[in-house]
Amino acid sequence: MPAIKAARSAGGRGHGPLLPPCVLHDNFFYRTRTDYMPTINEKLTEEIRAQARTLLADGTVAAVIGFARGSLPMTVKPVVVRAAADCGRLVWNSFCVLNLANYLPEVLKSVEPPRGPRDPKPAGPLPKVAVLATGCWSRNIVVQTQEHQVDRERVVVMGVASRGMVSRRKVESHFSGREILAVEELDHDLLVTGADFADKINRWSVVRDNCQTCIHPDPVLVDVRIGEPASARKNPNPFKQVDDLEAQTSAERWAWFTSEFSTCIRCYACRNACPLCYCPTCFVDDARPQWVGKSLDPVDTGLFHLLRAYHCAGRCTDCGACESVCPMGINMRMLTKKLNKDVLNLYGMEAGMQPGSPLPLTTYATTDPQKFIVTEAKAVKEDE
Amino acid sequence: MTTQTTQTSSTSQTSQTSQTAPWDPKIIAFLCNWCSYAGADLAGVSRFQYPPNIRIVRVPCSGRVSENMIMSALKSGADGILVSGCHPGDCHYISGNLFARRRFALLSSLLDFVGIEPGRISFSWVSAAEGEQFAEIVKTVTERVRSLGPATRLVKNIDTVQTA
């Protein structure tokens, strides 16, 4: 397929601030667009580059975490920019599905002057790091601050209101079996091009499930504002998918669980993409005791997903990174969403929305509901 | 090495007995050292009868019981699990059981969500003075697990893994 290869290499190597993001410059639509107006994302990209350049040039931050163009259509890669001259690499589009808060603790450590494990902290303030953040990512930064993984003083949050990120899997399912060579993004549509087809699809129809049900698109922390704040989004029931499953019988839910997770290959991409998973030794790597076997046995796989989700209880912001990076397309987000629903209903808390208060599982109230507890009175009643 | 040999021999014994003897529920009980374990002890010295299906694991506090332990017991073939601690407000460590209560509420709800039968995993509060109540709770829990039958969901069956 020499034609495809040529198109790919042409698209993969675009640089410079003037080029709109995620566009193959020899593509059909680009050449036919005579009434050129920058799209929302192109404007945001320009603003991100300008702000990042200023922050790096005046020495406010030592690094900027953002996204660079990916090597395939509908992909971006996380990038750490350390020089003002490299800011042209930064892009912003609807395919920024990874959660940048995930990289924050590591990048913060990397900009510190090197020191041994027992050396004292150097005097004076440590270098800062700027990070792009939408609603959910900024909430993750709040959680990281609450858990003492990140020093808020050292983070410059470049807040972008999210318009909802696109699921690559959903776009691909529109064109089953045909290879997509380029996707150009307009404000409300996607122009999808392949070797023998070109089509326009509605952007919102392929936005990820978690973004479609999201009610907090605007960042909760903003040091540098990029673009306009998002207008309030209302969703009568953000937990509809969970409710639908809950309405089923226990046996049906077990059937759903076993079939959903049966394709898991235990690559741990969901764990690695998650900003909550920072334990030096994960429970899946423990050998003594071995909580979860390392096999592909359905029980081991199920236990891994249950415990992984459970460890995110009260901390998950439903950013959807786990689901987006899954090579098998497993909806493991349903488990964390269920926990989010319970935490909200039982304790009235949403992760990252109350920066001053402790996380739900690190605190308690004497009046916490305890309907699930077996009491002696109940025991007697059931006997009668 | 010795522990491994004993483990293998005990598994082979149970598989032999399971073919002949009728199924009887095996319930792992995590009891806190200060209240529930003493409650179980009191039930014993007071001669209150309760089913011999529970295997007690003594833990310092119900807050010590992690989700990993519960899931590991399920995986290893426990038909039921009982976690019991001091009544809220009576914890030896002031608040261990209150933290545990939040965690157990979420865990039991999550396991119910994925289709683990609700009666498999039970939580209760038993004080050191409640020997009779302890016996009652064990009776209830055992009956519940008995009515559910042997655990099949999230139980790792070594035999099928080897043949697969």
A113 pLDDT higher than 60: yes
From the candidates A376, A378, A380, which should be mutated to test the interface with B, based on the most B CB atoms within 10 A?
Answer: A376
CB-based contact B104 A339, cutoff 8 Å = no
**Of residues A163, A33, A32, A30, the one with CA closest to residue A93:** A163
Any idea which of A10-14, A21-25, A128-132, A321-325 has the lowest mean pLDDT? A10-14
CB-based contact A374 B122, cutoff 8 Å = yes
To the nearest whole Å, the CA of A14 is away from the closest chain B CA by: 47
Contact B113/A at CB under 8 A = yes
* Angle between helix A298-311 and A333-347 (nearest 10): 40
Tell me the pairing of strands A76-81 and A224-226.
Answer: unpaired
> Which among A251, A292, A372 has the least Cβ separation from residue B105?
A372
DSSP assignment of B21-74: SPP---EEEEEETTTHHHHHHHHHHTT----TTEEEEEES-GGG--HHHHHHHH
List, for residues B145-161, the tens digit of each pLDDT value: 999 999 989 998 866 55
> Which among B110, B136, B161 has the least Cβ separation from residue A338?
B110
pLDDT mean across residues, chain A: 87
- Within 13 Å of residue B138, how many CA atoms lie on the same side as its CB? 29
Alpha helix locations (H) across chain A? 2-12, 28-32, 40-57, 104-110, 135-146, 168-174, 209-212, 240-246, 250-260, 269-272, 298-311, 321-325, 333-347, 376-383
CB pairs under 8 A between A and B: 132
- Within 13 Å of residue B53, how many CA atoms lie on the same side as its CB? 23
DSSP assignment of A121-144: PPSSPPPPEEEEE-HHHHHHHHHH
What's the pLDDT at A19? 44
**Percent of chain A surpassing pLDDT 90:** 68
A171 pLDDT higher than 80: yes
Residues 6 or more apart from A190 whose CB is under 8 A from it?
Answer: A94, A166, A171, A183, A184, A200, A201, A202, A203, A206
What's the pLDDT at A266? 93
What's the pLDDT at A10? 42
What's the pLDDT at A296? 85
* Residues of B with Cβ-Cβ distance to A243 under 8 angstroms: none
Higher pLDDT, A33 or A211: A211
* Residues of B with Cβ-Cβ distance to A382 under 8 angstroms: 140
Contact A377/B at CB under 8 A = no
What's the pLDDT at B20? 65
Enter the tokens of residue B36.
Answer: 């529930």
What's the pLDDT at B66? 93
Architecture of domain B24-157: 3-Layer(aba) Sandwich (3.40)
CB-based contact B110 A379, cutoff 8 Å = no
To the nearest whole Å, the CA of A295 is away from the closest chain B CA by: 9
Give the chain B residue nearest A347 (alpha carbons). Answer: B102
- Rg value, chain B, Cα: 17
What's the pLDDT at B100? 94
From the candidates A364, A368, A382, which should be mutated to test the interface with B, based on the most B CB atoms within 10 A?
Answer: A364
Contact B149/A at CB under 8 A = no
A336 pLDDT higher than 80: yes
List, for residues B84-103, the tens digit of each pLDDT value: 999 999 999 999 999 999 99
Q: In this structure, what DSSP letter does residue A230 have?
A: P
What's the N-to-C CA distance of chain A in angstroms? 76
Mean pLDDT value across residues A318-343: 94
> Which among B101, B113, B140 has the least Cβ separation from residue A379?
B140
Give the chain B residue nearest A301 (alpha carbons). Answer: B154
CB-based contact A375 B125, cutoff 8 Å = yes
Q: Chain A, 288-307: which have a CB under 8 Å from a chain B CB? A: 289, 291-293, 295, 297, 299-300, 302-303, 306-307
> Which among B98, B106, B114 has the least Cβ separation from residue A366?
B98
B80 pLDDT higher than 90: yes
CB-based contact A307 B136, cutoff 8 Å = no
Contact A384/B at CB under 8 A = no
The secondary structure element, H or E, covering residue B136 is: helix B131-148
Q: With H, G, I as helix, E, B as strand and everything else as coil, classify residue A311.
A: helix
Other CB atoms within a 10 A radius of the CB of residue A145 amount to: 17
* Residues of A with Cβ-Cβ distance to B86 under 8 angstroms: none
Prediction ipTM score:
0.85
Q: pTM of this prediction?
A: 0.85
Enter the tokens of residue A195.
Answer: 């070797």
Kindly list the domain boundaries of chain B, sorted by start residue.
Answer: 24-157
Enter the tokens of residue A100.
Answer: 């940048």
List, for residues B2-52, the tens digit of each pLDDT value: 444 444 444 444 444 556 678 899 999 999 999 999 999 999 999 999 999
What's the pLDDT at A295? 84
Q: With H, G, I as helix, E, B as strand and everything else as coil, classify residue B137.
A: helix
Q: Chain A, 194-253: which have a CB under 8 Å from a chain B CB? A: 242, 245-246, 250-253
Give the chain B residue nearest A310 (alpha carbons). Answer: B107
Q: Chain A, 328-347: which have a CB under 8 Å from a chain B CB? A: 335, 338-339, 342-343, 346-347
What's the pLDDT at A27? 46
Q: Chain B, 27-86: which have a CB under 8 Å from a chain A CB? A: 67-68, 71-72, 75
What's the pLDDT at A38? 84
> Which among B113, B124, B157 has the least Cβ separation from residue A374?
B124
Phi, psi (5° rounding) for residue A61? Answer: -125, 160
What's the pLDDT at B57? 96
Nearest-5° Cα angle at A42, A212 to A166: 25
State the Cα–Cα distance between residues A136 and A113, nearest whole angstrom: 30
> Which among A255, A300, A313 has the least Cβ separation from residue B106?
A313
